[in-house]
């Protein structure tokens, strides 16, 4: 199948500031794709270009098979965009917000009423549907915002753009939105996600691209990125300075050192067999290691490694 999103050489300048620098992207249909990067990396600009809200200075992009510049109306009929802040009318009820969105999307009055009821049920808002949205919690507003993006019905929204959708939400609301995103993907919708929560990308994304200064620093699956750019580490705590010195001698040059805490960090593949092997090799008498902790590779490690002014690279 052709990509749901395909971009080649996307470039965008604001005055003398280059926000995107020949960015390439490819997103498979029906998947969750996460775009990560520090503030100012170009994430929101990328979303705005792909959602036809901003025109690139150079490069080309197609969304749902349509060019984002020459076929804007077709792109807009195939996508939904949820920005960083919930765009709901506080002086309308939840049901009125959805009904209005459905009518603006071209649904008849009966069809809009049916779709409103379906979405209120799907997003767990049926009981709150008759309340003004000014009384909603942040999580409820976010769910309503997502629901409004799907008023055209199953299959009509091919690509959903979510620009930092869980910013400011409590952990429970964030978990609820994660479930909704996964349901959308399972139902065939392609989800393009930007986020500052690396755990979110790790949990949801099938593929990730990390941006830095408008350029691709790395791309791949979460597992591939962690395998390449982050490492498991076995942290060993010695009971006293003498034991610490003995461990240091045996650990070799790849170990990290924290003399104040009497702690060594030793690279490992994370497997139980390798951990046992390291413990036996470094402390054969079983008296120099008071305790140990296995630090598993995370996307946080990947992110910190890649955004520390590294040269661009790819997985």
As annotated, the residues of the chain forming the CATH 3.30.70 domain(s) are 231-296
pLDDT beyond 50 at 315: no
> Are the beta carbons of 220 and 230 closer than 8 angstroms?
no
Phi, psi torsion values for 93, nearest 5 degrees? -75, 170
Token couple for 133: 């949205």
> Are the beta carbons of 65 and 3 closer than 8 angstroms?
no
% of the chain residues with pLDDT over 90: 60
Strands (E), the chain: 5-14, 17-27, 32-36, 58-63, 66-67, 79-82, 159-163, 190-194, 207-212, 215-220, 232-237, 256-258, 263-268, 291-295
Q: What is the mean pLDDT of the chain?
A: 89
As annotated, the residues of the chain forming the CATH 3.40.50.300 domain(s) are 5-88+136-227
pLDDT beyond 50 at 314: no
Mean pLDDT of 167-174: 80
At residue 309, the pLDDT reads 59
Mean pLDDT of 298-314: 69
Mean pLDDT of 238-263: 92
Tell me how far apart the alpha carbons of residues 44 and 27 are, in angstroms, rounded to a whole number: 17
| CATH architecture of the region 231-296 | 2-Layer Sandwich (3.30)
> Are the beta carbons of 211 and 43 closer than 8 angstroms?
yes
pLDDT in tens, 181-229: 898 899 899 999 998 888 889 999 999 999 998 999 999 999 888 888 8
pLDDT category of residue 10 using cuts at 50, 70 and 90 = very high
Superfamily of domain 5-88+136-227 in CATH is P-loop containing nucleotide triphosphate hydrolases (3.40.50.300)
On the 0-12 / 13-18 / 19+ scale of CB atoms within 10 A, 236 is: buried
At residue 172, the pLDDT reads 82
pLDDT in tens, 252-303: 888 888 999 999 989 888 889 999 999 999 999 999 999 999 988 788 888 8
pLDDT category of residue 93 using cuts at 50, 70 and 90 = very high
Cα atoms in the 13 Å half-sphere on the side-chain side of 43: 27
At residue 296, the pLDDT reads 80
Q: Please give the residue that has the higher pLDDT: either 246 or 171.
A: 246
Using CA atoms, how far residue 221 sits from 206, 246, 309, in Å, is: 6, 39, 22
At residue 312, the pLDDT reads 42
Token couple for 182: 């996964």
On the 0-12 / 13-18 / 19+ scale of CB atoms within 10 A, 65 is: middle
Tell me how far apart the alpha carbons of residues 75 and 55 are, in angstroms, rounded to a whole number: 13
pLDDT beyond 90 at 79: yes
pLDDT in tens, 98-122: 999 999 888 999 999 999 999 999 8
Mean pLDDT of 143-159: 83
Mean pLDDT of 2-7: 95
């Amino acid at each position: 199948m052709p990509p749901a999103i395909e971009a080649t050489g996307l470039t965008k300048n604001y005055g003398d500031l280059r926000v995107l620098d020949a960015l390439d992207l490819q997103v498979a249909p029906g998947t969750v794709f996460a775009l990560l990067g520090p503030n100012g990396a170009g994430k929101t600009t990328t979303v705005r270009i792909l959602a036809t809200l901003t025109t690139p200075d150079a490069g080309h992009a197609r969304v749902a098979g349509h060019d984002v510049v020459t076929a804007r109306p077709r792109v807009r009929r195939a996508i939904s965009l949820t920005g960083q802040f919930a765009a709901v009318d506080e002086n309308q009820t939840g049901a009125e917000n959805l009904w209005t969105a459905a009518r603006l999307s071209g649904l008849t009055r009966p069809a809009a009423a049916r779709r409103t009821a379906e979405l209120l049920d799907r997003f767990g808002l049926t009981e709150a549907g008759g309340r003004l949205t000014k009384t909603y919690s942040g999580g409820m507003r976010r769910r309503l915002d997502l629901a409004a993006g799907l008023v055209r019905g199953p299959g009509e929204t091919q690509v959903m753009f979510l620009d930092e959708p869980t910013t400011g939400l409590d952990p429970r609301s964030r978990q609820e939105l994660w479930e909704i995103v996964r349901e959308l993907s399972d139902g065939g919708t392609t989800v393009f996600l930007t986020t500052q929560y690396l755990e979110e990308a790790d949990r949801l994304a099938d593929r990730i691209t990390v941006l830095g200064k408008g350029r691709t620093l790395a791309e791949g699956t979460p597992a591939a990125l962690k395998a390449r750019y982050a490492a498991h580490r076995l942290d060993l705590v010695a009971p006293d300075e003498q034991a610490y010195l003995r461990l240091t001698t045996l650990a070799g040059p790849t170990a990290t050192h924290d003399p104040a805490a009497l702690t060594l960090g030793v690279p490992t593949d994370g497997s139980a067999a390798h951990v046992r092997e390291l413990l036996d090799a470094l402390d054969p008498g079983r008296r120099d290691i008071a305790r140990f902790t296995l630090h598993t590779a995370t996307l946080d490690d990947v992110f910190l490694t890649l955004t520390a002014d590294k040269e661009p690279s790819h997985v």
